[in-house]
Amino acid sequence: MKAWLTALFAIITRENLRFVRQRGRFLAALVRPLVWLIVFAAGFRAALGVSIIPPYQTYITYEVYILPGLCGMIQLFNGMQSSLSLVYDQEMGSMRLLLTSPLPRWWLLFSKLLAGVIVSIVQVMVFLGIAALTGIDLPPLGYLTVLPALLVSGLMLGAFGLVISSTIRQLENFAGVMNFVIFPMFFLSSALYPLWKMAESSSLLRDICALNPFTHAVELIRFALYGELNLEALAWVCGCFAVFMLAAVWGYDPARAMLRARGR
């Protein structure tokens, strides 16, 4: 058990030091959602002539509605960036060295995943603090109740990034894959508009959004910000995390990597 905790602490420390040294990564994580929060929300109101939408039982401003989706965006991009570092580690050989250690492969991958989630939670909380300064009011307790939701959703999105990175062999191919995955996941979700609004346009798109794991991550965060638990979203997120984690453990099998190398 001591060796397991030592590995966990070492991986988390390494990821945090890398994050501290990459200041541009932190600024990008804040600027991207802030642009959407300020510019996109204003453009949406100007184009449609509305300032409030009824997602559940109450009316809220559009900025408040998209706030959970932007939190999910931060975690989604962070999960992909953490996976990008894994692709780099694979090219340098350090990832193969890590996975051949005596510790279980799933624990090493989970440690890497948890390290990235801690970074993403820090980014989200700073973003929520800046959003509060712009006049977006949330229940004070919501800043605490959202933490478990951010942890679970971050693990699921990070595990999804692990699955993608396990299929990439060259660093230059990862950027294209990121765009191909991130933007469909973000736009085909409830991050920018509720599912009932999507159903008015297309029932097929609404069903696609309902099956999107990112939708349920956003809904879990949305309810948690108001001190509520969305059990359906929690079940979806936990189930997807289990599937993605199993796929990542299988994808990062060193024996399979050696067989592929011999085949080439």
DSSP-derived pairing of the beta strands 52-53 and 60-61: antiparallel
pLDDT reported for residue 151: 95
pLDDT reported for residue 156: 94
Q: Residue 218 contacts by C-beta under 8 Å, 6 or more apart in sequence?
A: 68, 69, 71, 72, 189, 190, 191
pLDDT averages per 10-residue partition of the chain, 264 residues = 77 75 70 80 56 50 83 88 70 61 80 88 91 85 93 93 78 67 86 81 86 94 92 95 91 62 50
pLDDT reported for residue 241: 95
**Burial letters 184-221, b for 16+ CB under 10 A, else e:** ebbebbbbbbbbeebeeeeeeebeebbebbbbbbbbbb
pLDDT reported for residue 52: 45
Q: How many CA atoms lie within 13 A of 72 on its CB side?
A: 34
pLDDT reported for residue 6: 79
Cβ neighbours around 134 below 10 Å, total? 10
Closest by Cα among 67, 58, 40, 46 to 190: 67
- State pTM to two decimals: 0.84
State how far the Cα of 9 lies from the Cα of 112, in Å rounded to an integer: 10
Please name the helix (run of DSSP H) or strand (run of DSSP E) that holds residue 53, with its range, or none: strand 52-53
